[in-house]
Amino acid sequence: MAESVGRNHPRSEWLARAMVWSAAALVTVTFCCILGNILWQGLSHISWTFLTAPPRNAGREGGIGPILVSTGLILGVCLSVSLPIGIGAAVLLSEFTADDSVFGGLTRRSLDVLSGVPSIVFGLFGNAFFSKTLGLGFSILSGGLTLACMVLPILIRATEEGFRAVPQDYRLSAAALGLSRTTTLFHLLLPAAVPGLLVGLVLGVGRAIAETAALIFTSGYVDRMPASLMDSGRALSIHIFDLSMNVSGGDANAYASALVLVAALLMINSASDWAMDHWLQRRIVFA
Amino acid sequence: MKDLVKFRPWLPLEDRDACCVPSEFITSGKLSLQYGETSAFKDVSLAINKGCITAVVGPSGCGKTSFLLCLNRLIDLVPNARVSGTLTINRQDILSPATDLIRLRRQVGMIFQKPNPFPLSIRRNIEFPLHEHGVKDREQRAHILESTLREVGLFEEVKDRLDAPALSLSGGQQQRLCIARAIALAPEVLLFDEPCSALDPISSGVVEDLIAEMRGRYTVVIVTHNLAQARRIADYVAIFWTQDGAGKLIESGTAAAVFESPTHALTAAYIGGARG
Amino acid sequence: MSCILFPFNRDRIFIWVLRGFAAIAGAIVVLIVVFLLLEALPALRHVGILRFFTDPSWHPAEGFYNLTPMLWGTLFVMTGSVLIATPLGILSAVFCHFYAPRDVARLYRRLIGLLAGIPSVVYGFWGLVALVPFIGAIRPPGPSLLAGIVILTIMILPTIALMADASLANVPQQYLRGAAALGLPRWATIRGIVFPAAKSGLFTGVILETGRAIGETMAILMVCGNVVQTPHGLFDPMRTLTSNIALEMAYALGDHRAALFVSGLLLMAMIVALVIAAEWISRGRIYG
């Protein structure tokens, strides 16, 4: 709604217009500075060798091959645990729980709190529970399970939205035809709710890849190619952190790694935007 | 509490007082409106007289509301809308780009079909537009607040809760508040877009009576598809109908002329209930 | 959501499986609090809660566990960034809805979305290599409260901007039409009608961004200098509760480690308070 108003603009209208445009300009300039800097400094170091070779000299030279593999494995563990639990919980909350049930209310509230918990606290928890108590030590498994806890609220919320978008008529006609709830769920509702699910998946993956603090004390720092899930592995975000803070002269490769990470996330976010625009009516906004 | 149901004596149309010495106030010359490729209405040439109540009637979809939106240039808010032809209010061309829209919309008030008070208190609903249009003195605003609420018959009902949310009022009260809000700016023209269709019958009657009392003080243009309502309150009537895929003005004149002796066959059919 | 009775047995088993999953999901938060408490217990017992605020300083090697410098660090950096990001974010949303041409608005929204997707470590890295030297040139040393505030502002801006955008979109069109019909100019409409109508969404956005500001670790770690001191000026280096944990966890043992878990509990408490506030606001009055 941008309509032109009459001639006699009082001063406050011009001031407001100036303020709004300045704010937008400031944000745009800042963003271009940051992204431009990373692009400019990092692009020259990216090559196929960079993406596949192992790091040498503490990461100053070489590439990020094993690191990409570790990141992928951590992500894999995270998703394979959080997807079934998340979808199951979402199905229960949206399909089989009354709106005023105590169990449903408690679960939802605890998920709300969970989505606000700082990532470093997840790191502490992961370290205490997965690494120490369950004895997994510094491992990809440990890191992946911690990330699964972080990603769960996002998945559940998005899947619930997906189910909410399915019209009530589907359920009523299925019941009228004498179909069991399970059948209705698997054959009718889940397929219809897939868009919401996919959106949640994409959002969750985006959050997981960007995570650093939760992984430092759970999946560790080792930058070799991991041999199993119990091995420690370094995620891409941690590699950037290490190169910039602990390795002098590591800036060049840090820029390149940052560019790879940002590019991957940009692709994922575009996919989620596209998915949301095309499938979901409402926009899901997260912290 | 004001007597909600008032029975007006139903005089035959010829016996009603003339509203005024007919003098043209709003004139449209071959006014046409297009939404992209579709035509909303075409070649509407209508003269609306000052101080009189003009009802724009016709079945739904023939451009009545769109015509109304042109009168205060609210059509500018609709993307892809293109207006052609001439439209003058008090001999001033209001379609020209040089028109001061703020001043125009102060002089031409509009009341919508669904009551839309702002999510503010009753007091703020009326005082906020006043403040924006330059009434800086608090006492003056309070005075206008009270007099407009009295004019629409709301004052006694809400005087103890002027700071309560406007959305807590009933539908009929909200619509009367919207009328008060428009009147507060001292307009010369009031546009009503089916003001009673979203209200219950009793509130509807109250609002209708209010509009009828405006004769002589405001130039009223009321869009309605309730023929009985038009018969009750209108001095002049304009009949819209869809022809060749666009709305057209097929007949206009005094209420007596149009209702008792229509010239167009469609008008006769519409009024007789055979069509529309 | 739908409570149609289910007569099939197969359904009952399935529902119990689902209940199990939901219980796991719901239990995670409880598990977190429990484990934090378990790990923090030694410190709470040996050191005692009061000493976390009254000890001479934070110096675990000598047995001093005062968290207040870090607490002030967290509060300062959070306040500074929220104060700057909120008006910028809300004005950005106003820009998209009311002032920008349609194409520009679409591009700008995409830009904000992109900003939201950049990981904190990348922001921290940029801060380290570009912002900190710049600040250092104005007033050494460079890593400082100011750097933290600037970076954090950039990071939480998309949160409030996107929430504000959604809230403004939910303001009913009829209010805007009514305001236009009354001849109200644009900013007056936004100020007097749109903002009150979007109030609860905007407040929720502020709460969310505050939570994000409190919890941010990596970027702060990389640009704030990590000196244990209560910052007395914008250019002082400092530490927050979060960066404190991240820095020392790697080598902390015994009471030191437990003390870090205590600060983790403190963070949890702040977040829970925010979530309660958010629920109270959004469930409460719809408008003023």
pLDDT by residue (tens digit) across B97-124? Answer: 888 888 888 899 999 999 989 989 999 9
pLDDT for res A104: 82
Q: Which residue of B has its CA nearest to C102?
A: B79
Q: What is the structure's pLDDT at B33?
A: 93
C-alpha B108, offset from chain centre:
9
For B196, list phi and psi in degrees, rounded to 5.
-105, -5
Average pLDDT over residues B61-69: 89
Cβ-based neighbour number of residue B150 at 10 Å: 13
- B77: nearest CA partner in chain A: A3
Measured CA to CA, the distance from residue C67 to residue C57 in angstroms comes to 8
**What's the mean per-residue pLDDT of chain B?**
86
pLDDT for the residue numbered C7 = 56
Instruction: Retrieve residue C122's tokens.
Output: 């990348």
Comparing alpha-carbon positions, the chain A residue that sits nearest to B133 is A10
Nearest to C217 among A91, A112, A118 (CB): A118
Q: Mean pLDDT of all residues in chain C?
A: 87
Residues of chain A positioned with their CB less than 8 A from the CB of C183 = 6
* Yes or no, beta carbons of C183 and B74 under 8 Å apart: no
Going by pLDDT thresholds of 50, 70 and 90, the confidence category of residue B18 is low
For residue B146, name the pLDDT band (cuts at 50, 70, 90). very high
Indicate yes or no: CB of C181 within 8 angstroms of CB of B132: no
Confidence of residue B223 (pLDDT cuts 50, 70, 90): very high
- Mean pLDDT, to the nearest integer, of C45-71? 83
- AA letter at B6: K
Which residues fall within 8 angstroms of residue A91, CB to CB, at 6 or more apart?
Answer: A159, A163, A185, A190, C18
Nearest to A149 by CA among A217, A85, A233: A85
Per-residue pLDDT of chain A (287 residues; tens, 9 = 90+): 334 444 446 788 899 999 999 999 999 999 999 999 999 888 888 888 888 888 887 777 788 888 888 999 999 999 999 999 998 888 888 877 777 788 888 888 888 888 889 999 999 999 889 988 888 888 899 999 999 999 999 889 888 888 887 777 777 777 777 777 777 778 778 877 887 788 788 888 888 888 888 898 888 888 888 888 888 888 899 999 988 888 888 888 889 999 999 998 888 878 777 776 776 554 444 33
Count of all residues that appear for chain C in the document: 288
Given this model, what pLDDT does residue A283 score? 44
The pLDDT-based confidence of C155 (bands split at 50, 70, 90) is very high
Distances (CA, A) of A50 to A262, B26, B211, C85: 16, 75, 78, 37
Q: Is the pLDDT of residue C92 over 90?
A: yes
* Cβ–Cβ below 8 Å for C180 and B178: no
Cβ contacts of A11 on chain B, cutoff 8 Å: none
Residue B260 DSSP class: H
> Which residues are within 8 A (CB) of C269 and not within 5 positions of it... i.e. 6 or more apart?
none
Comparing CA positions, the residue from A261, A22, B118 lying closest to residue C194 is B118
Alpha-carbon distance C180 to nearest alpha carbon in chain B (angstroms): 7
What values do phi and psi take at C255, rounded to 5?
-60, -35
- Which of these ranges, A81-90, A266-275, B263-272, C138-147, has the smallest mean pLDDT? A266-275
Above 80 in pLDDT, residue B148?
Answer: yes
Tell me what pLDDT residue A286 has: 37
Residues C227-243 pLDDT 10s:
888 888 888 899 999 99
Quick one: pLDDT band at residue C249, thresholds 50, 70, 90? Answer: confident
Distance CA B165, CA B122 (A): 6
Taking only the tens place, the pLDDT of each residue in B23-56 is 888 999 999 999 988 899 999 999 999 889 999 9
Give dist(CA A273, CA A269) in Å, integer. Answer: 6
Return the pLDDT at B95.
Answer: 92
Element (H, E) at A1: none
- Chains sharing 3 or more CB pairs under 8 A with chain C: A, B
Share of chain C above pLDDT 70, in %: 94
Q: What is the pLDDT of residue B142?
A: 92
H/E run at residue B257: helix B255-260
Q: How far is B134 from chain A (nearest CA, A)?
A: 10
A99: its two tokens: 């709106």
| A191 in contact with chain B, both atoms CB, cutoff 8 A | no
Residue C4 pLDDT more than 60?
A: no
Alpha-carbon distance of A125 to A145, in angstroms, equals 11
For chain B, percent of residues with pLDDT exceeding 90: 47
Chain B residues within 8 A of A1 when measuring between CB atoms: 77
Quick check: B68 pLDDT over 90?
A: yes
H-helix segments, chain A:
11-43, 48-52, 65-95, 102-116, 119-126, 140-164, 168-176, 181-183, 190-210, 213-216, 236-245, 251-279
Residues in C closer than 8 angstroms to A5, CB to CB, are 185-186
Tell me how close the Cα of A7 comes to any Cα of chain B, in angstroms: 5
| C232 and C135 Cβ atoms separated by less than 8 Å | no
Put simply, the answer to whether B98 touches A3 (Cβ < 8 Å) is no
pTM greater than 0.90 = no
Q: What is the DSSP letter of B17?
A: P
**A192 vs C92 pLDDT, higher one:** C92
More confident residue, A273 or C181: C181
List of chain C residues whose C-beta atoms are within 8 Å of the C-beta of residue A219: none
> In sequence order, what E strands does C88-151 have?
none
**Residue B100 near residue B152, CB atoms below 8 Å:** no
Task: Nearest by CB to C177, from B77, B119, B132: name it.
Answer: B77
pLDDT at B3: 33
Minimal C-alpha gap between B133 and chain A (Å) = 10
The whole-angstrom separation of Cα A235 and Cα C23 is 30
Burial degree of C35 (CB within 10 A; 0-12, 13-18, 19+): buried
**Amino acid at position A45, single letter:** H
* Predicted confidence (pLDDT) at residue C287 exceeds the cutoff of 60: no
